[in-house]
Amino acid sequence: MTIHTKVADLLNQRQKAFEDLEAVALADNTSQEEYDAKKKAVEDLDQRIKRARDAQALAASTAQPVEGQQKAVPASPENDSYVKDKTLLLGGIAKMMGMGTGNLDLALKASERAYGESHPVTKALQVSTGSAGGFIVPPDVMNEVIPLLRAQSVVRAAGPRNIPMPRGTMTLPGQASAASASYGSETRTITKSEQKFNQIVASYKKLTALVPVSNDMMRYADPAVDAFVRDDLVKVMGLREDAAFLFGDGTQDTPRGYLSFANSFGTTQGIFSSAANSTPAAGGNWITSTSSYTLATVAAELGGAVNKLDTANVPNTKRVWFMHPRSYNYLFNVQNSLGSYVYRDELMRGSLLTSPVMRSTQFPINIWNVDGSQKDCSFVMLVEMTEDIILDSMQLELSVFREGSYIDETGATISAMANDQTVIRAIAEHDHQMRHDAAVAVIQFVRWAPAIS
């Protein structure tokens, strides 16, 4: 048994010992002696883990590569890609789990051979928990994975509130209405009033992805290959999550998106289609864009969205615009009658009417208007991000297999073994909620576009 395997084994023992301690602590008839014994078992394992890690660090500092082993580059920000861009860990971990056919010990040995004993991928595997056919990214790696999802997804990148939801559901209490106050004479009876409350019940929605990767690529320990594996995996997860947070209607086990929350605050809910006449939303924080738009109408609509949030008493703490690049590029290039760019200077500083702008090609640009005369419409949204909540129940779980088959996007059954592929399955569980529906303003049927597109 290598020292690296020993550390992993001790961590597994420690997890089981802690679960035993937790069970004893919650039991009603536990004696103090039994509790103390379970606690000591956990503390003893902590000491053994510390000693093993100390020995591991000493071994790594003097280790020399054996024949056929890649010499590990020292993990320093100056010359190690995995330190400068720690999101590469996800691709490396997924690859090594594939090389180890889902077994953590085999994956660790494969990583030692491919990367070296002191490489960040090997170290990440040393402190991970896993089982045959599955791998759970531990908390210290999750912190590196989630920023990558945010970088690929405009909603997470905009900085909503993030709340752990470990039990898969959570009730968020809120205030529906306020008490009232009034003036009166010395002898007048004080009028009674009271606050009213409501609640938001969040429950996890499961997001899954199945990504086949060529084993020819999996066999190479190279940052470029690890980045490919990572990007392929994260792309399908991050973009689908982002689409739900923007446009999800909450049906078919999906989270609700900004469009749904804006509909709830309006007096008439919009029904938008890319194949038939749409029903416009009305009331609330909805603004209908002028189809034959001008600089003046665009300015009025942008200002109107800001005013909608202001008059609904939504705080102006961290408002963010969301739009398609087509809409952004129109604003970036539009000129007034004097030939001056109206919004370019501000947009180059990263804001529009003092609020940051996020662009996503997942915004549709093929929505039909009311009578179907315009079939190239889109949306522009303004959201107060301090009102936006993402509740993560399970941030990321990876399972890896080389045998069996999977169904591709055309419905065909593909054999992983016959095609020399490793299949990576990713699962995340989360929900998306707004503390107040009024925190979303939407401009509908937007046709803004550059003169040449």
Higher pLDDT, 209 or 57: 209
Residue 77 confidence (pLDDT): 45
Residue 74 confidence (pLDDT): 44
Mean pLDDT value of segment 315-337: 96
What is the distance between the alpha carbons of residues 372 and 387, in angstroms, rounded to a whole number?
35
Min mean pLDDT across 21-30, 126-135, 298-307 is at 126-135
Q: Cα dihedral angle (313, 318, 324, 325), rounded to 10 degrees?
A: 140
Q: Is the pLDDT of residue 340 over 90?
A: yes
Query: SS3 for 383?
Result: strand
Higher pLDDT, 304 or 140: 304
Residue 349 confidence (pLDDT): 95
How confident is residue 178, by pLDDT bands cut at 50, 70 and 90?
Answer: low
Q: Cα dihedral angle (99, 104, 108, 113), rounded to 10 degrees?
A: -20
Mean pLDDT value of segment 18-34: 82
Task: State percent of the chain over pLDDT 90.
Answer: 40
Average pLDDT over the chain, rounded to an integer: 82
Other beta carbons less than 10 A from residue 174's beta carbon: 10
Tell me if 204 sits within 8 A of 253, measured CB to CB.
no
Mean pLDDT value of segment 148-177: 76
Residue 181 confidence (pLDDT): 78
Residue 102 confidence (pLDDT): 66
How confident is residue 453, by pLDDT bands cut at 50, 70 and 90?
Answer: low
Higher pLDDT, 342 or 401: 342
Mean pLDDT value of segment 191-218: 79
Residue 75 confidence (pLDDT): 45
Q: Is the pLDDT of residue 397 over 60?
A: yes
What lies within 8 Å, CB to CB, of 128 at 6+ separation is 8, 93, 104, 135, 136, 137, 138, 141
Tell me if 264 sits within 8 A of 440, measured CB to CB.
no
Q: Is the pLDDT of residue 141 over 70?
A: no
If you search the block for the tokens 């004080």, which residue do you land on?
A: 190
Residue 129 confidence (pLDDT): 41
Mean pLDDT value of segment 443-453: 91
Tell me if 381 sits within 8 A of 440, measured CB to CB.
yes
Sign of CA dihedral 256, 261, 262, 264: positive
Q: Which helix (H) or strand (E) holds 176?
A: strand 169-177
Q: Is the pLDDT of residue 432 over 50?
A: yes
Task: State percent of the chain over pLDDT 70.
Answer: 82
Residue 175 confidence (pLDDT): 53
Residue 62 confidence (pLDDT): 58
Residue 8 confidence (pLDDT): 67
* Nearest to 425, CA basis, from 135, 141, 223: 135
Min mean pLDDT across 90-94, 288-292, 299-303 is at 90-94
Residue 148 confidence (pLDDT): 46
Q: What predicted TM-score, i.e. pTM, was given to this entire model?
A: 0.69
Residue 143 confidence (pLDDT): 35
Chain centre distance of CA 327: 24
Min mean pLDDT across 88-102, 336-350, 389-403 is at 88-102
Q: Is the pLDDT of residue 249 over 80?
A: yes
Higher pLDDT, 278 or 170: 278
What is the distance between the alpha carbons of residues 306 and 14, in angstroms, rounded to a whole number?
54
Please state, in angstroms and as integers, the Cα–Cα distance from residue 20 to each residue in 34, 39, 354, following that order: 11, 9, 54
